[in-house]
Amino acid sequence: MNWRPQTILFWITIVAAITPIKAQNNNRAANGATAADWPEYGGTGLAWRYSSLDQINTSNIKRLTPAWSFETGDYQDGMASTPVVIDGIVYISTASSWVIALNGATGDPIWRYKYEPPVGLPAPRSNHGLAVGDGKVFINTRDNYLVAIDAKTGKEAWRVANGDMLNCRCGMGGVPQVVKHKVIVGASGSIGTITAYDTENGRFAWRFHVIPKPGEKGNDTWDGDSWKYGEGTVWTTGSYDPELNLIYWGTGEPKPTFYSANRKGNNLYTSSVLALDPDTGKLRWYYQEIPHDTWDFDTDYEFTLIDREVRGRTRKLLVNPNKGGYTWVLDRETGEFLGTYKFAENTNWIQGIDEKGTLIGRNDPEIGKPNFICPSNIGAKEWNQSAYSPRTGLLYTPVNEMCNDLVLRGPSGKTPQDRGGGTWIMKPPTGHDTGYSHLDALDAVTGKRLWTYSYKYELMASVLATQGDLVFTGDVEGRYFALDAHTGKKLWSYQTGAAHRGGGVTYMMNGKQFIVTPVGRGSLISDLSMVLWPEASNWRVASAVMAFALPEDEK
């Protein structure tokens, strides 16, 4: 064949245009959309939970049918995790920190890894997901171990204790994050931590302590020695901007929870967004959403990283829907506060937030009486993730409308460890017989609501958005369903047989797009909700994944 220079240039251009799609997708591209794979918990490091696949779309969604299903065998606490998909292999984790690799086309198991806790320590009973990178699968355990598993064979490569569980009262309930040959994990304890380990051998790289020690910036925001018990649990996972080389992690409430007379001050760095250098763990900036948190509202859950125009110019944004029913919008380069908007219908813990980010009209609970607070400390937003679509500019957010009576308790004086706390009783919002929920399509920056999908119980599954203009999620009655991304109209639904708590994903294999969702109710939140909905005790517990695809003649 006689190749002309123009012909060679044409094919170089085509190859260059096609090749980066897979490479970028597997390496957290600046574009937050996934393609053939679903390489990490939030889809990519930008945490959009959005796929560029559109084989399944609004015109053919009604023909979507089950392709395969798989029961894990770990049934005690449901299935609350999100799968990761690399090169057609679906990696799933269970409540007991088992890891299973499945053939993405058939659902057949390739290998299984069953975590065995050290002798004398209890088995972990909760897991939200795993991470895959550098040829390994990484999983946290509730008894405070980070385990690395060979992605091809399922054999344990290494295991490292993130701390002495019995002494530090610590554990890891979140999802690891792999960035630049480091696996990063968050943990609870008397002082919450974010720690990085080498992916190759588990060697310690760096650690960030949420609570500053004496002499460190921020320690003066704690009264006396209250910093020693401040905690600031880190129990979700982070986002990552490769252009800025920053990871973003959130922290939990200060301790003691609710009772705060013995921890006066803003209590840094609890209930804050932390921007860290992934190479060193150094703090670049922070933003404390809830100074002196007395409601257990934390600053956790997803940090969605988008570029949008704000005040006349394009800004690199971090968007964080909070348990308290407000979404914070920050400049992710500097941490500058750019605005908030309320997305919950029932809020009374504050009257509002001013243009500087200050909480106005705080309704702090008082000791000696029931304090009716909305939302409940379960949160208007739980850890199940929203999804962002660049096609619509909308953030698809599940919202739970529940309240509670908070009853504070001061220190008993019996032990130094008892510094007070509180209890709560679930209550419906004022004017309602019980709780309820809704999935909203919100402008990600302004909070303008374009449509809402209402539901009579709680919505506890993560949301998935696709280029096919579809929004997927599941409910506690067992239905997995798809809505039109532009209108909110329900287009498709399938009864899976058990409630949904984890995160659905999508991927392409052998020319076919699959939608895969975990199936199985679980976690403390599920038990608490039975106060509002007694019938929840009859909802089936399961631990499975179910895949859907179009019939062969529809591809």
Instruction: Report the catalytic residues.
Output: 296
Report the residue count for the chain. 555
SS3 sequence, 409-439? ECCCCCCCCCCCEEEEEEECCCCCCCCEEEE
DSSP code of residue 81: -
CB 104 within 8 A of CB 72: no
Nearest to 490 by CA among 58, 63, 67: 58
Nearest to 363 by CA among 349, 344, 377: 349
CB 497 within 8 A of CB 66: no
Residue 486: strand, helix, or coil: coil
User: Going edge to edge, which strands form the sheet with 136-140?
Assistant: 131-133, 136-140, 145-150, 156-161
Q: At 548, which amino acid appears? A: F
DSSP code of residue 38: B
Residue 183, both tokens: 């696996």
Using CA atoms, how far apart are residues 329 and 317, in angstroms rounded to an integer? 7
Using CA atoms, how far apart are residues 436 and 532, in angstroms rounded to an integer? 9
Using CA atoms, how far apart are residues 161 and 512, in angstroms rounded to an integer? 41
Residue 415, both tokens: 């032990």
Q: Which residues contact 473 (CB under 8 A, 6 or more apart)?
A: 398, 439, 459, 461, 462, 463, 464, 480, 481, 500, 504
